[in-house]
Structure 1
Amino acid sequence: MNKLAIVIPYYKLDFFEETLKSVAAQTDRNFTLYIGNDASPDDPLPLIQKHFSDNEFKYYHYSKNVGGTNLALQWERILENVTEEWFQILGDDDVISANFVEEFYTHLNQIEKNKINVIKFSQALMDGHSIILTSYTHLKTITHYRDIWTDIFSKRERSSLSENIFRTSEYKKYKFKKYPLAWYSDDMAILEISNFKNIFFIETAQVQVRIFEKSISGMTDDEVYNKKKEWARLYFYEDILKKFKLLPKKDIEPLLKFYLSICWNLRESKIINLIPLYFHIGKPLKILTIPYKILLLNRNK
């Protein structure tokens, strides 16, 4: 039985064939391909059947669109069918290198030996013309979640869903947070599914993530989308702060300040309990400032 599922939540036809070609080009065919059609107006079956025979993929056509409400709902809907031990969610406009599956199996014994639940591959961004826009990411082979967290928060390093492979059994314990636009949902999944421990990085295979005008990442001038991204950031940081004992102490106060600034910008006055946070970082006197902070946030409504 294959140990790896490649899951493609399909909606956009624009670059879908490029995605399919990259999967069809795999040097190791020991994977199961799942494709879920989120009630797209464009039928993908002709393209799928062009590159795969009927016994090489599992196709699900859903009559109701849920990705428009939250992309994580679409991901989870397809994942209900997955029986493999590991899965990748590959964007319908992203591509993987031909040795992606091969390198997964090459390192699998080491991954299992170290009891790791999340695998990350080297990633670069590309545009609508398939021109690479960035360098490829680099991490240590075994990277602690604190370094991943530092990349997300302090360095603001880029991250995408497609570059990760998750252990299915651990995913089922947490699933995906339903943040607006599923923005930061993959980041929280990395932290939770890894159990806030190590992830395994593979540099010898790559994922190329497409940024163009129809992708959420590419909609940088859309005010509605930008507002939703800010709400997602707020909820993500709020959930992280609730797990403050797992965070590096040096990051907690800067994160808290940033969290409160987002609350201010979004006119959100309901904030998490700050008392245990201030005790944890050794600044109990800061508790006296909490009523003033809440007063300011309420005045900002």
Structure 2
Amino acid sequence: MKFSVTIPAYKARFLKECIESILAQTYKDFELIIVNDASPEDLTSIVKSFNDPRIRYYINETNCGAVNVVDNWNKCLEYATGEYIICMGDDDMLAENALQTYNDLICKYPNVDLFHSRTMAIDEKGFSVALMLIRNEYESLCNFMLYRFFPHNGNMQFIGDFCFRTTTLRKVGGFYKLPLAWESDDITAFMVANPNGVVHTAHPTFFYRINGQTITNTGNVEIKLESTDKAYLWYKNFLTSYSPVNVLEQQLLLQIKQNLDSFFTKKKIHIIASDIAQNVFHSFKWIFHKNSYNLSSVLVLQSIAKGIVDSIKH
């Protein structure tokens, strides 16, 4: 079995479209693993409407939930028998040539363990709202990491963007667990890309659906801050222990270290500002309880300013 395409499923709304896009693949050597996270919605009827032997369907006895969603990602990994694994949301879609594209790149780069799709973001009606930038076909680990430290709409990435070598993913401990999967996709990718780098597709083969039910747009603000702090510690530890293989990698690693604090400060400002934009009176919460979240006065004031401006814009 070449590929395991997995769906850690909870929502019914777009699940049928998601499954259809996978079964429509031009490359046929794959299994589709769907793990129902004890959803209150009727996912079973949707799955059973497809009569395809490549589908393997499981239902969790207890709900992992949004905070522990990575546990369900790793459930999918446990069931996978393919050489390579893709873990995508129950509302996302694959282009019909996605697996063929990955297979071609795998043949071209047999020693690489991580492959990454150029992604198109779509709205709830399936219309394109953003297209990620074209990346160099091959990137070293440090170049791949550095690119993520200058975020903008053209370089966002999601867990479903990636195709992992299954044995390597298991060797590093599976999908890296953080609350709400906040930063889990990036860290997992970096672990698997170490030391052989990453290969990117030139054409969009993954469609990430932006909608109000995604975990990115929901979830407890305090938990997001907790997850951000844990991710920061992972980066600090990783960058301290990582040994660059050449002079160029040394320079890239230095740039990453120089931008680390700024990157995570901006992430915290964004999280807090989003909370304030929804309710400006939350500004007082962050002022009076900043020490509880280990936040500086400057960071809180910057967050408040951004939150108020964002609330006015919307």
Amino acid at match of 2:233: E
Alignment of 1:281-296 (within 5 A): none
Residue pair 1:124, 1:137 contacting (<8 A) in 2 also: no
Evaluate the alpha carbon distance shift between residue 266 and residue 169 of structure 1 in structure 2; reply closer, same or farther with a 3 A threshold: farther
Aligned residues: 263
Give 1 or 2: higher helix fraction: 2
Q: Percent identity?
A: 22
TM-score norm. by structure 2 comes to 0.77
Is this contact kept in 2: 1:241–1:256, CA < 8 A? no
CA contact (8 A) 2:67 2:181 kept: no
The aligned residue for residue 45 of structure 1 is: 44
Match of 2:208 in 1: 209
* Greater CA drift, 137-146 or 26-35: 137-146
Equivalent of 1:235 in 216, 230, 234? 230
Cα distance change of structure 1 residues 256 and 88 upon mapping to structure 2, 3 Å threshold: same
Q: CA deviation at 1:43?
A: 2.5
Determine the structure 2 residue equivalent to 1:218. 217
Partner residue in 2 for 1:251:
256
Pair 1:58–1:110, CA change in 2 (3 A): same
- 1:152 is aligned, of 148, 172, 181, to 148
Q: 1:56 deviation in Å?
A: 2.1
Structure 1, unmatched stretches of 5+, are 271-292, 294-301
CA distance in 2, matches of 1:26, 1:190: 24
78, 86, 89: which is aligned to 1:88?
A: 86
Whole-angstrom distance in 2 between the partners of 1:238 and 1:200: 27
- Letter paired with 1:162: G
**Aligned ranges 1:76-225 → 2 under 5 Å:** 76-112=74-110, 115-156=111-152, 157-174=155-172, 175-219=174-218, 225=220
Structure 1 residues 63, 256: CA separation in 2 closer, same or farther (over 3 Å shift)? same
Structure 2: state its 5+ residue gaps. 243-251, 270-288, 297-314
| 1:16 maps to 2:9 | no
User: Which of the numbers 66, 69, 74 marks the counterpart of 2:64?
Assistant: 66
Aligned twin of 2:301 = none
Moved more, 235-244 or 145-154: 145-154
Confirm or deny: 8 A CA contact 2:37 2:60 kept in the other structure: yes
Coordinate RMSD, CA, aligned:
2.4
Stretch moving more, 161-170 or 229-238: 229-238
For residues 194-222 of structure 1, what are the alpha-carbon distances to aligned partners after superposition, in whole Å with 9 as ceiling and x for unaligned? 11441011123511101111112233xxx
Amino acid at match of 1:229: K
- Measured in 2, the distance between the counterparts of 1:254 and 1:226 equals 24
- What is the alpha-carbon distance in structure 2 between the residues aligned to residue 151 and residue 40 of structure 1? 36
Cα distance in 2 for partners of 1:169, 1:40 equals 29
